[in-house]
Amino acid sequence: MLGLMQEWPLVCHKIIDFAARQHPHREVVSRSIEGPITRTTYAGIHANSKKIAQLLTREGYKPGDRIATLAWNTGRHLEAWFGIMGMGGVYHTLNPRLFPEQIAWIMNHATDRAIFTDLTFMPLVEKLAPAVESLRKVIVMTDAAHMPETALTNVVAYEEWLKEADGDFEWADVGEDAACGMCYTSGTTGDPKGVLYSHRSNVLHAMMACMPDAMGIGAKDVILPVVPMFHANAWGLGQSSPMIGAKMVMPGGKMDGQSIYELLDTEKVTFTAAVPTVWLMLLQYLELTGNKLPYLNKVVIGGAACPRAITEKFEKDYGVEVIHAWGMTEMSPLGSLCTMKPEYADRTGDALLDIKQKQGPAPFGVEMKITDDDDNELPWDGKTFGRLKVRGPAVASSYYGGDGADHFDSHGWFDTGDVAHIDEFGYMQITDRSKDVIKSGGEWISSIDLENLAVGHPDVAEAAVIGLPHDKWGERPLLVIVAKEGCSPSRDGVLGFMDGKVAKWWMPDDVAFVDEIPHTATGKIKKTALREQFAHYRFPG
């Protein structure tokens, strides 16, 4: 027997329809690429999205066509997203921090047919366009006055192009399982892999993100998505914010501490999200200036393990709640958020910080398990390490083109490549990537735990730990450190700071000081490059 409910497909353009109808005057504020702060509303975003969908359809683009975006977080980028999805297309966010050859490879693999780009990236697009055979059109998200000269053909200025449409357009009649978005993994091992989102998965993911024990956001919030839209959908905030009618503040291309603080303060931001490196810059700026964060209530930190020192400083010095999150491009991307269940609600001080170091429980819509190498499920006891596997309605079932099939099993489980443990209350903690875990004398050492501990030293700006060959133990940890500006930490001083805080056999065998640590295009420590850099290193003795 079937239920007698209406057929109401979960398609993304219903989100911007809702925002325009229920919250038409709510602002979307952007630091524009041209410089000034600009303001529009959800009604304005909706109107321009309709024009974009109308123009793309008129020019022959079809449902399923991949339309790339190479752009920062702005209102224009947001309306491009909804316009592309509304005509049945697939927005394809490109990461400008990749090498041009990688971006061209990705665009060819996806067969992108058009691209929306910011002024910042026009020199890059001019290099990419000749290498992408499928590319037919370049839309530069600016006005006629700022349009640069270019030798490329079929290039238009966004604002002039929009004048060709009246917005009288019916959204494409696509099913909720139709593709609507695409993002490629960073490709730290092998070629990047395409993750193809559906309308249904994006809508469900946005609903998951809003839940009280997830991000816990609502219409009263002012949301600053510092995490770029090209980093796994800005963690869903491009869809969840209009879904709840929250004011959005878009940072454009300026991600330094001062620029982020200015937006937090002038726009009275209550909620924000980004990777740890961004918050390190902000906290350093606050220390230098003595400024406070009177409006900010909550910050989500993910993309890499959040050092304890960042959580402690936000919460103790500025009264801002930190939610430690974890996810992946393949998960749309939210997988877990460390909010407090009743079992931990009475924790305070260091005991609370101990819990907040975990990545936390999965929200409804994400199932988790940990297994050994033979796929035997392991207990949730907070101690037993295993391979972290997930499944759910916003988790990829395969990669675009069938790549990487070994990551998915016949029961729908996706092997994340992370090593983790889960406690009795469902709080998951990543201990390493499976390829980065240090295997010493047959036991595992978590490089992430050691890195977080080292960053707590007052003279350390950034730390990375890698396993290097050892004649007796197989592998031992080497701690690699970048000192804070004006500081000169010593090997013995750093190791002395760490001593007694982890098991003796976990302690790094040596410390190396470097000017910088290599990062991937998504801001994560690039340990493959570090291992190459220290390939000929030998431990003392």
Q: Which residues are catalytic?
A: 185, 330, 439, 444
Q: What three-state secondary structure class fits 416?
A: strand
Please state, as a whole number, how many other Cβ atoms lie within 10 Å of the Cβ of residue 393: 15
CA 87/CA 165 separation, integer angstroms: 14
With helix as H, strand as E and coil as C, how does 284-352 read?
HHHHHHCCCCCCCCEEEECCCCCCHHHHHHHHHHHCCEEEEEEECHHHCCEEEECCCCHHHCCCCHHHH
Length of the chain: 541
CA 140/CA 134 separation, integer angstroms: 18
CA 272/CA 11 separation, integer angstroms: 26
Q: Do residues 457 and 497 make contact, with C-beta atoms less than 8 angstroms apart?
A: yes
Q: Do residues 356 and 344 make contact, with C-beta atoms less than 8 angstroms apart?
A: no
Please give the DSSP secondary-structure letter assigned to residue 535. T
Please state, as a whole number, how many other Cβ atoms lie within 10 Å of the Cβ of residue 343: 13
Tokens of 311: 């959580």
Q: Is 60 exposed, middle or buried (0-12, 13-18, 19+ CB in 10 A)?
A: exposed
CA 256, chain centre distance (Å): 17
What does residue 348 show for φ and ψ, rounded to 5 degrees?
A: -140, 165
CA 72/CA 156 separation, integer angstroms: 18
Which residue type sits at 442? G
**Residue found by looking up tokens 């193809």 in the block:** 196
Please state, as a whole number, how many other Cβ atoms lie within 10 Å of the Cβ of residue 140: 27
Please state, as a whole number, how many other Cβ atoms lie within 10 Å of the Cβ of residue 16: 26
What does residue 14 show for φ and ψ, rounded to 5 degrees?
A: -65, -25
| Cα Dmax for the chain | 76
Which residue type sits at 143? D
Choose among 297, 309, 308, 245: nearest CA to 273: 297
